[in-house]
Structure 1
């Protein structure tokens, strides 16, 4: 925990994602207020504030191309449930910092390493995440990535809004669309700007703070937002993502599904704070 900022709990049993997230004394992670998609890895990850999709697949299962056994990519890819090797974890002055290395076996037989670096700026309270995905195997895999930032929506009242340049009209209510929930995905990049920004708030239940999320659009050019209020679920997700919300096959046909070849790497960056 840094001098300023939220108190977060990293999960070394699953890619060093974030489990509980304490803001002004309240855990904002959804916990058990989530849907059960039948995958215990994702069931565990979805309980927390942030989990990572990829590196071989994002979103829901689809067939592995030319697989003789007819297997499918797992829900949200292969990252979840891979344990982290902690390389450095300490507080330096007012800041807190953690570095880890996570070897990952992909569903289609490849091998990846996730080099993960967390840092909390003790003066601003901003949490910074830098990821580098390296193909250390002998075969290519899809270059796809998504961060799921999940918040318990029981914290929201009718004044909470999503806002950002990528949203039509600059913003919309948190409970957009029809009940009991929905999802949308939009381009997030703004010409001349390396970082996209989306905000959620003000959240009166947390003392009126607003969640501000920033992400680099060279690796994460889209923003997906998901909410689910179908009991027992009561959750909203802010999800910077590498690709449109369409099938792998459509992404292949359009030339959008690039491959990460052996020895190549991809980098992704995310920052957030409560203001």
Structure 2
């Protein structure tokens, strides 16, 4: 893990061994990543990624495993796709100026034999403390791949008290308690895009355990038009996830059947972006 920080904002640990995702995320010296307070889905790649603050799902598949079309041996796309565990090549690293900035390339081999290049750009604005992520996914193979993408932002829910709420224009009443739904866990997915707005925002807080700060997350809605929220309090898990995502909560076959599953042709790219700050 490489420590990445600017004069203002969180200190994050970038994981060179897995797509340059975020492991620890320190706010007021408190690591808000869930660590081992996560469910075990039987995939060590995802186990490693899920214990960090942010990991990236895709580029060939999102959510739970599904069969690869046309395969006769029962092979499936892995849990949350193929990104996790692909090492990153850092091409630029700068923490000497006011802002912190990092660029990386991540070549990825997908479960169905495709090839993808992830071009990743991290920046922390020293004036605002906002962490900015820009991703470009390019199909470098010779066959189409599904254009699917999700960011999992995982927070240790033991940090929360009853004052912590989720808020955003995509919620029916504008806000809800963090421990929504039936116990010991729940998940929902809602449209996040609003007419005339290129970015959506969701907030979680105030979190007394980190000095009363509120986590504010913004993401591009042209390629991430949905927001999924997930929580799991089935011991030993104690985690909440904020998850901007490319598609609604449905099986791959259903999305394909309705025409919602889009494709990246060889040479084509898709851009994704996410920003977060503690205010």
TM-score of the pair, normalised by structure 1: 0.99
CA distance in 1, matches of 2:185, 2:94: 40
State the match for 1:245 in structure 2.
Answer: 249
The 5 A counterparts of 1:210-249 are 210-249=214-253
Candidates 87, 90, 101, aligned match of 2:91: 87
Partners of 2:71 and 2:16 in 1: CA distance: 32
The CA distance in 2 between the partners of 1:197 and 1:92, in whole Å, is 30
Structure 1: how far apart are the matches of 2:65 and 2:89? 28
The CA distance in 1 between the partners of 2:164 and 2:251, in whole Å, is 32
How far residue 149 of structure 1 moved from its aligned partner, in angstroms, is 0.1
Aligned residues: 275
Structure 1 moving runs of 4+ over 3 Å: none
Secondary structure in structure 2 of the residue aligned to 1:237? strand
Matches within 5 A, 1:135-146: 135-146=139-150
Q: Which runs of 5+ in 2 are unaligned?
A: none
Give distance in 2, aligned partners of 1:259 and 1:25: 42
Q: Secondary structure in 2 aligned to 1:169?
A: coil
1:94-113 matches, cutoff 5 A: 94-113=98-117
Which residue is 2:30 aligned to?
26
1:122-177 deviation line (CA, Å, top 9, x unaligned): 01000000000000001111000000000000000000000000011101000000
For structure 1, the residue ranges without an aligned partner over 5 or more in a row are none
Report the CA distance between 1:91 and its aligned residue. Answer: 1.7
Deviation for aligned residue 1:261: 0.6
Whole-angstrom CA distance in 1 between matches of 2:256 and 2:55: 25
**Shift, 1:68, TM fit:** 2.4
Residue 89 (structure 1) shift: 0.8
